Structure 1
Amino acid sequence: MTVDRRRSATVLLGLLIGMIGVLFSAGPASAHAALVSSDPNNGNIVPDAPNKVTLTFSESVQLIPGKIKVLGPDSSRADAGEPTVDGTQVTIPLRSGGARGTYLVTYRVVSADSHPVAGTITYSVGAASTPPSADVAAETRVDPVVRAIIPIGKYLGYAGLVLLVGPVLVLALLWPQRLSRRGPGRLIWTGIGLVVGSTVLAIWLQAPYTLGTGLLDVRVGDLRDVLGSTFGAVMLVRLAVVVAAAFLLRPLLVGSGSESRLDLALLGVLGVAALATWPLTGHPTASPVAGVSVVLDALHLAAMSVWLGGLVMLFAFLLPRANARELGAILPIWSRWAATAVSALIFAGVVQALIEVSSLSGLFNSAYGRLILVKVGLAAIVIAVAAFSRKLVKDMSAEESPRVLRRVVLAELGITAVVLGVTAALVQISPPRSAEASQTTQTDTTVTRTLTDKSMSLQVDVYPATVGNNSMHLYAYTPDNKPQPVVEWKATAALPAQGIEPIEIPLLRITDFHAIGDIALPQAGEWTFKFTARTSDIDQSTFTMAVKIR
């Protein structure tokens, strides 16, 4: 009894070492979707108050009740009714007759991989003004305590998988009949407890994580909203599968011999279902090839659980307690299992990294990529140690003591515990593909300028500011920001550095103060635009601006 407890304590110590890896490698939790465009565009000045605001994200999102607001220039609510979502697009209806000035849009939604996405944009009607006052930080923050506990909870879930999947497989297929199953049974029940506990913790944490509240500021309604989301549904499935598996495991754990092949087959099905719940609430669901990523991630988790869980059983029970004849039969089979699991780990891990990192620069210039490199380095060490242990298995005679092999297995467990910690941190960090999506926004290729003289203010929108076909909008206002009727518009574009003389831009008068035009700009460079707005037979204003066309 005391020996079994000592071995179990050693395994739990390894898990504690891995948790240190979580604490050292976990950075700030980051949103994994990105706002790629908005209408009106961020920072734009529009001539008339729109009847809605549209936000477009890089992946599908879910709404959080009460977490999307539009504030008018006087800081009063300008939105009307509840926003709606259609895949990647969120539409916010606005009150009619909005005042002139700058509006503030604050948003907080949940991305496809269960992480909150929060931020702000501004737009102005007629002319810019002082932005509305609002506690933007409170609207977009994540409580630091919640942020710190989430990766620890994920790590405990991974540890539970390790103590559940691998030990069950060894107990069902490799365990000598004469040995007691009490110690492995405790280990497996510990794994079940860790998976259940981490799942319940994840459901609780998801409420303050998405709402930006404190750890203990969770209400019944908040939990109800979580359970009604995709994340909550997946967590409930995980709990149901694990509880069902626990009932089927009882005969196997007591060694009564009453377990049937059907029971073992059902356990296998439940194991696959449980493993699938991890990628369904993480990065794979938001991958460009979601189906492939979900399968690869489940394969990665299965291989990890079989390999590490088998190592735990080998170190804690089989090597100390099995005799030479039993080890001679068990170790070669285990060696083949380990080789297969490691091969699956490498294959699934490499392909997943290629999908998430998406570029060589992302591997070195992002926190996600650097953690991938750390994980690869640690995995390489573990694989080298595993290769040495397999060589020991082949070379060891049945009479030799497995003491050296135990030391090697312990080294494997210690390093892989830290790898688990790095993995738990990785799922909280935005992959480079999300960062790249956030940089390809519509506002990056739109130029908005306001040009003024003593009698007129001219707003100019040019989009996209790239080589090719370009559209232009011109809006005229009086010095006190009222629409200024224009009798005639003229505009030209020139690129003096490349010897391109002024090209006339055809303009179409839409309203008294609004004109549009189109031009095909043939080359990149610093283009000079000249605008003339005639307001009467004798009055006109001329403006010039330089725009960098890419």
Structure 2
Amino acid sequence: MAVMTVDRRRGATVLLGLLIGMIGVLLSAVPASAHAVLTSSDPSNGTIVPDAPNKVTLTFSESVQLISGKIRVIAPDGSRADQGDPTAEGGRVTIPLRSGGARGTYLVTFRVISADSHPVGGTITYSVGAASTPPSADETADVKVDPVVRALIPVGKYVGYAGLVLLVGPVLVLALLWPQRLSRRGPGRVIWTGIGLVIGSTVLGLWLQAPYTLGTGLFDVRLGDLRDVLGSTFGAVMLVRLAVVIAAAFLLRPLLVGAGGESKLDLALLGVLGVAALATWPLTGHPTASPVPGVSVVLDALHLAAMAVWLGGLVMLFAFLLPRANARELGAILPIWSRWAAAAVGALIFAGVVQALIEVSTLDGLFTSTYGRLILVKVGLAAVVIGVAAYSRKLVKERSAEESPRGLRGVVLVELGITAVVLGVTAALVQIAPPRTAEAAQTTATSQTVTQTLTDKTMSLQVDIYPATVGNNSMHLYAYTPDNKPLPVVEWKATAALPAKGIEPIEIPLLRITDFHAIGDIALPQAGDWTFKFTARTTDIDQTTFTMTATIS
């Protein structure tokens, strides 16, 4: 009974650090951010086109998947203008439209899933012929997430990370460092707990993905919603994780019993399954949407593996080996473990630094974004724990095998506590958009079409300039009568000037597309408030000249 009480106390102490990290996750939980952005659309947001298009195209910064019934085009009279199912190819979504659309303003609402499994939503408008009051949608496409679902997602991810820790490191220690005379019952319970946590986290993640992507409540999930999740890339990867962990559980039984039934082939298969399981984490997160996804997936899997080996090994060292192994056994185990820990720390530093450089992309991003600041917190905590680990290695080298390992247990406990908090920061990071996403959004915001309508008593001229940035720009000119009917133009002329910087008027070559529509291209060499002058001749003797100012960034 006394031995059982001591074991329970040890187990409670080991779990204390993990609970500290869980509290960190809860305190740092923030609204989930969409990690893909709409970079362009055709027709462009806010523009007026002369004729009704037969489709709407949305282009995102990364590949996306569709959510059934979450993309709509609403006509000016409030009816549905879309026809048939939209299609997605990479980051481009195509929405087919009914033919013969009425004049007026159309509303496009969308909600899709980005490559890293986060929902992306929003609205755009465009007008046919002339603008009108935008129609209203029955439901909003903005990315709203139920607060309970939002809080449970990082908790579920933390539970999965904790399961990895209690599974990977303990299995390696039990297979390669465990003294034959010691009982495997305690480590076996730790490993089964790890398996249970990974399976529970995976099932919870599959359940939460439905209300997360749909914006519904935790218990508003229907069978069809779960079927859609299982049919997505996210669902497929999570099912692979479940299958791999369950298969590993069967192979682990001889190792946990300790009867010598495990073979080298079983251990090799366990290694393959471990690599496959670790790969499922980056395949449902930021690395898949990275500029170099292959590199990011490998780095993230390496990062997770090093964390699981190091922290899981510390759990075994603190809870079982240091209290139970004799001096001779510790003399053989600790130097080997010290080398393992050094290798794991090296892998953590390498993978973490490279991955941070990819995700943050700029030095400013480290200090100006929540993602970057959490990276800095993680680096600071990692530096502390590396210092503690270095002191631990020093103790191992200087301490004779006959000395008590009590001091070493205290150092290991500190390592456990700090690394558990690092685990919590990692779980929070996967819910926050990296700075490269913000940069894509900022680029999109500064690369929108400039649209102005110039009027007088004889004509209404609509001017579209895209992307309104330094460099090559496209221009569309549409001529209408004062009552918004197409007005034929015989000849078009246009110039662009930047007086503030001494740039004289530059002639813009224009090409007539229809009687009332002309297009042109011009390279604008500098940013500033450009002055554009347009002349539209409608008869041999009648012409109208307009002047406008547009900001080019």
Inter-partner Cα distance in structure 1 for 2:379 and 2:270? 32
Per the alignment, residue 533 of structure 2 pairs with 530
| Distance in 2 between residues matched to 1:193 and 1:505, nearest whole Å | 68
1:71 has 2:74 as partner? yes
Q: Residues 501, 328 of structure 1: CA spacing in aligned structure 2 closer, same or farther, 3 A cutoff?
A: closer
Instruction: Give the structure 1 partner of residue 238 of structure 2.
Output: 235
Report 1:131-170 matches (<5 A): 131-134=134-137, 137=140, 139-170=142-173
1:393-439 alpha-carbon deviations (Å, 9 max, x no partner) = 11111221111111111111111111101000111111111221222
What 5-or-longer segments of structure 1 have no aligned partner? Answer: none
Alpha carbons 1:32, 1:115 under 8 Å: kept = yes
2:362 matches 1:355: no
Does the 8 Å CA contact 1:79/1:95 hold for their aligned counterparts?
Answer: yes
CA–CA separation in structure 1 for the residues paired with 2:434 and 2:263: 44
Cα pair distance change 1:134/1:254, threshold 3 Å: same
Aligned to 2:57: 54
| Aligned residue in 2 for 1:12 | 15
CA distance in 2, matches of 1:138, 1:522: 38
Among 424, 429, 450, the residue aligned to 2:427: 424
From 260, 264, 275, the equivalent of 1:261 is 264
- Post-superposition CA distance 1:291-336 (Å, at most 9, x none): 1111111111111011000100111111111111111111111111
Alpha-carbon offset, residue 518 of structure 1: 3.5
Q: Give the 5 Å matches for 1:83-122.
A: 83-122=86-125
Amino acid at match of 2:399: M
- Give the distance between the partners of 2:139 and 2:369, measured in 1 at CA: 26
Partner of 1:404: 407
Residue-by-residue CA offset, 1:428-455 (whole Å, 9 max, x unaligned): 1111112212222387253211111233
Between the aligned partners of 2:129 and 2:138, the Cα distance in structure 1 is 25
State how far apart, in whole Å, the 2-side matches of 1:244 and 1:509 are: 67
1:514 aligns with 2:517: yes
User: Aligned partner of 1:334: which letter?
Assistant: W
Pick from 469, 472, 475: which aligns with 1:472?
Answer: 475
Q: Distance in 1 between matches of 2:392 and 2:7?
A: 23
1:214-236 Cα deviation digits (max 9, x unpaired): 11111111111111111111111
Q: 1:75 to 1:435 in 2, by over 3 A?
A: same
Query: Do residues 209 (structure 1) and 212 (structure 2) align?
Result: yes
1:321-336 paired onto structure 2 within 5 Å: 321-336=324-339
2:386 aligned partner? 383
Identify unmatched segments of 5+ residues in structure 2: none
Q: Distance in 1 between matches of 2:527 and 2:40?
A: 24
For residues 472 and 213 of structure 1, do their structure 2 counterparts lie closer, same or farther at Cα, with a shift above 3 Å needed? Answer: same
Match of 2:70, SS state, is coil
Does 1:291 pair with 2:294? yes
Q: 1:177 aligns with which of 177, 180, 197?
A: 180
Identical positions, percent: 87
Instruction: Tell me, in whole angstroms, the C-alpha distance in 2 between the residues paired with 1:113 and 1:73.
Output: 35
Q: Distance in 2 between matches of 1:423 and 1:57?
A: 26
Q: Which amino acid aligns with 1:382?
A: V
Q: Structure 1 residue 33 and structure 2 residue 43: aligned? A: no
CA distance in structure 1 between the partners assigned to 2:458 and 2:170 by the alignment:
82
CA shift, 1:125, in A, is 1.4
Matched residue pairs, number?
550
Which of 344, 348, 358 is matched with 1:345 structurally? 348
Describe the shift of the 1:248–1:518 C-alpha distance in structure 2 as closer, same or farther (beyond 3 A).
closer
- Counterpart residue type for residue 103 of structure 2: R
Does the CA contact (< 8 Å) of 1:199 and 1:235 recur in 2? yes
How far, CA to CA, are the matches of 1:417 and 1:160 in structure 2? 12
Task: State TM-score, norm by structure 1.
Answer: 0.96
Question: What's the offset of the Cα at 1:105?
Answer: 0.9
> Counterpart of 1:450 in 2: which secondary structure?
strand
Q: 2:311 corresponds to which letter in structure 1?
A: L
Tell me the amino acid that sits aligned with residue 549 of structure 2.
A
TM superposition score normalised by structure 2: 0.96
Which letter does structure 1 place at the counterpart of 2:545? T
SS in structure 1 opposite 2:535?
A: strand
Paired position in structure 2 for 1:187 = 190
Alpha-carbon distance change, 505 to 399 in structure 1, aligned in 2, over 3 angstroms: closer
Give the superposition deviation at 1:532. 2.5
Report whether the alignment pairs 1:82 with 2:85.
yes
Give distance in 2, aligned partners of 1:518 and 1:333.
68
Following the alignment from structure 2 to structure 1, what is the Cα–Cα distance between the partners of residues 15 and 345?
A: 23
Determine helix, strand or coil for the equivalent of 1:184: helix
How far apart in 1 are the matches of 2:403 and 2:386?
Answer: 24
Deviation for aligned residue 1:535: 3.4
Inter-partner Cα distance in structure 2 for 1:396 and 1:373: 34
Q: Note if contact 2:385-2:415 (Cα within 8 Å) is conserved in structure 1.
A: yes
Distance 1:424 1:383, change over 3 A: same
Q: CA deviation at 1:536?
A: 4.1
Q: Pick from 543, 546, 549: which aligns with 1:546?
A: 549
C-alpha change, 1:285 and 1:517, in structure 2 (3 Å) is closer
Shift of 1:261: 1.4
CA distance in 1, matches of 2:505, 2:398: 84
Superposed, 1:475-486 pairs within 5 Å as: 475-486=478-489
Q: Look up the match of 2:395.
A: 392
